[in-house]
Structure 1
């Protein structure tokens, strides 16, 4: 059964102001409800479409071209639709992306025009621009536009990681096949062997062959580990001024990854290998922003403005990259939620919670000179059950497991 559309929702919105309720009712009879998940593409520039859409709930981002302002249209929920439609042209002149979960009301454009012609001359309509045209929004607009048109130079997963992940997904493949793939990259092979003998995976005896290492680790662990140890290649910038910020990003990600892996071993319900990967990819959305920030002097030459832009858009861009890499929703949530310090959740603890907790630990949350909350004051503390593993000596995890974290961090840093 289709969801009913109320006449009240469309009353007074552009360009329908001149229609009486009888004509609005005729239009509503042909209307449909359309839903989209966060980050879904609603339409792209150049698409032909017979529908005009109004945003009932959620936020839609409309991007025209790189360097142009971002247009945001926000629905009002039960109070009604946004005052302006999106995409009334026969051929769309912009891209529309659901920034959140959205509910749209769509009506046939031809029917709107016919009803408007009955009450007066044809009405021209142009969407008002909403949002600041500063360089932060311009950068985000450019990235979104290029992403929607498959032009964005996204970070690519290293080839050996892609091949290993593909092999592990193949039920016919086993340790010998995965070993052969890794052997083709001596540097990665050495890191896998090093990992198998590290604090993270160490057994009763040292392994001295790659095949033994793969068997010890298990195929799933190898998949995550190879992805992790090759991830350094992603964190690069062509701009020398931004290389230092990219290096700092990688160092932070490696520390969060190592600490997440160690914490996961102390908690039930978590795998240390997945925790390691979660820590590494939680800030992946920052990479394209740093890679492209040099095109915007106001950002590249202003660290404060650049950090504000990163804080505003890192989650959305990170989620898009991980979906392109076919990562699980669980990992996508890590990128989206890693800095939602006061995150509430009705479900059990997950890897996003784990990374939030580790970041607060690593970034000194609660310290006198910190604006971040103390770990023990946020919901993830209880959700993860961190009180049960607190040190009797009062040491933080970073202090208590310093050597273990350092060994894993060194493995990632190469």
Structure 2
């Protein structure tokens, strides 16, 4: 089966909701659905998080990060961490687990390297998006963090299926972008119950032009993507800023500048990035 046929086959499956996830991902998706239930309260969320030791550790770690621990008061238990973060941030952490699990069963070293680079890129985008949302665009920072985590989830899914279609990820990514990305991403978004505003923002990220100064969630993602020091191995946006040019991006924000905000927020970005990389 050639690459184009493989992309179209997986895209057709995604369009019909026939997605194939590893068993570990299925369990995390069930957790995500439970957290998305409006009736999910702190006690239930705490029990769900405690059932997964790795997720419990990440929950406490992000609650103690500079971005979420403004008072400097450390937390050592899952319940107070859940109370500090709220269910929406927990959904972001679960989404991060799901995304990383998609590549956890890969044996091919080339695919594993692509997955590792894609996650590094994702963690940078998500961390930068949270700070840009809070300090620059004034969109909801938790939504921006979540959007950054899931913005390339379709690519992670494609990599997870690559072992079933030998050679599919060889060569340039243009065929993937043209014939698979949008449909496969939409299918995974539906499975993960990604809110429509996030889906719309990711679509704007891939196809829109970033406004300066940025205003929307899509603009937030575009700027974070441009500023991320690790590029995506799966997608190059038309008109994307080069890594060298990204270092020169600056504009006025209130009485300050973007560069001043990034300098002031470096510890927050690095703290979030470190938690996501756990």
TM norm structure 2: 0.78
Unmatched 5+ stretches in structure 1: 1-66, 68-134
SS state at 2:207 partner: coil
Question: Matched residues in 2 for 1:259 and 1:163: separation?
Answer: 26
The CA deviation string for residues 125-163 of structure 1, in whole angstroms up to 9 with x for no partner, is xxxxxxxxxx44212211123334554425785634632
Of residues 108, 114, 127, the one that matches 1:245 is 114
What does residue 252 of structure 2 align with?
387
Of residues 204, 220, 230, the one that matches 1:354 is 220
Question: Matched residues in 2 for 1:399 and 1:143: separation?
Answer: 43
Offset, 1:233: 1.4
CA contact (8 A) 1:258 1:279 kept: yes
The CA deviation string for residues 60-104 of structure 1, in whole angstroms up to 9 with x for no partner, is xxxxxxx4xxxxxxxxxxxxxxxxxxxxxxxxxxxxxxxxxxxxx
SS state at 1:338 partner: helix
Question: Matched residues in 2 for 1:195 and 1:158: separation?
Answer: 24
2:191 is the alignment partner of 1:324: yes
CA change 1:283–1:220 in 2 (3 A) is closer
CA change 1:241–1:220 in 2 (3 A) is closer
CA contact (8 A) 1:168 1:178 kept: no
The CA deviation string for residues 309-332 of structure 1, in whole angstroms up to 9 with x for no partner, is 233232332122102222211122
Q: Which one has a bigger Cα radius of gyration?
A: 1
Superposed counterparts of 1:275-314, under 5 Å: 275-294=144-163, 299-302=168-171, 305=172, 307-312=173-178, 313-314=180-181
Q: Aligned pairs, how many?
A: 262
Whose RCO is larger (CA < 8 A, sep 6+)? 2
2:153 is the alignment partner of 1:265: no
CA change 1:246–1:233 in 2 (3 A) is same
Of residues 401, 405, 409, the one that matches 2:265 is 401
Question: Matched residues in 2 for 1:207 and 1:282: separation?
Answer: 30
Q: Which moves more between the two structures, 221-230 or 270-279?
A: 221-230
Question: Matched residues in 2 for 1:148 and 1:230: separation?
Answer: 20
Offset, 1:180: 1.1
Counting strand residues as a fraction of each chain, which structure ranks higher? Answer: 1
Question: Matched residues in 2 for 1:332 and 1:229: separation?
Answer: 19
CA change 1:341–1:167 in 2 (3 A) is closer
Superposed counterparts of 1:8-407, under 5 Å: 67=1, 135-148=2-15, 150-154=17-21, 157=25, 159-160=27-28, 162-163=30-31, 165-171=33-39, 173-204=40-71, 205-236=73-104, 237-267=106-136, 269-294=138-163, 299-302=168-171, 305=172, 307-312=173-178, 313-342=180-209, 349-362=215-228, 372-373=240-241, 387-388=252-253, 392=257, 395=259, 399-407=263-271
SS state at 1:199 partner: coil
What does residue 76 of structure 1 align with?
none
Question: Matched residues in 1 for 2:161 and 2:47: separation?
Answer: 37
Counting helix residues as a fraction of each chain, which structure ranks higher? Answer: 2
Offset, 1:188: 1.0
SS state at 1:256 partner: helix
What does residue 50 of structure 1 align with?
none
The CA deviation string for residues 98-129 of structure 1, in whole angstroms up to 9 with x for no partner, is xxxxxxxxxxxxxxxxxxxxxxxxxxxxxxxx
Question: Matched residues in 2 for 1:234 and 1:289: separation?
Answer: 9
Question: Matched residues in 1 for 2:25 and 2:230: separation?
Answer: 31
CA change 1:301–1:151 in 2 (3 A) is same
CA contact (8 A) 2:154 2:181 kept: yes
Offset, 1:286: 1.1
Offset, 1:343: 6.0
